[in-house]
Amino acid sequence: MAKKNTIGGWAFFIGLVIAMIAGFLQLSAGMTGVLIILGLIVGLLNVTAKETMPFLLATVSLVIVSNFGGNVLSNIAIIGGILQGILNAIIILVIPATIVVVIKTIYALARE
């Protein structure tokens, strides 16, 4: 079990590093694909049943902030575009993980 958490933790860390890089560069199709795969790994290996609700709450918060905050960030000279790029890349990382966690949660509820 510890190895699963280690792999998931590294997948999340690498995803965040790629998201930071994507903030300074334009997000390429390759980077997007890697972020999606890493997000799937995080969702499968890193989020336990106990962590489901905090993870989903954090994800909803992130989506709300990116939706409303993204417009504000675009108005900030120089750094705003970088922050918006980082935020968009983090969203690309987190959405696949969220989909996996939601499916696992629905399956667990249906099984009961």
Question: What is the spatial distance between Cα 107 and Cα 14, in angstroms, rounded to a whole number?
Answer: 29
Alpha helices in the chain (DSSP H): 2-24, 29-45, 52-73, 79-111
Model pTM score? 0.83
Query: Model confidence over 26-83: pLDDT tens digits?
Result: 888 888 999 999 999 999 888 888 889 999 999 999 888 888 776 777 778 778 888 8
The predicted pLDDT at position 1 comes to 46
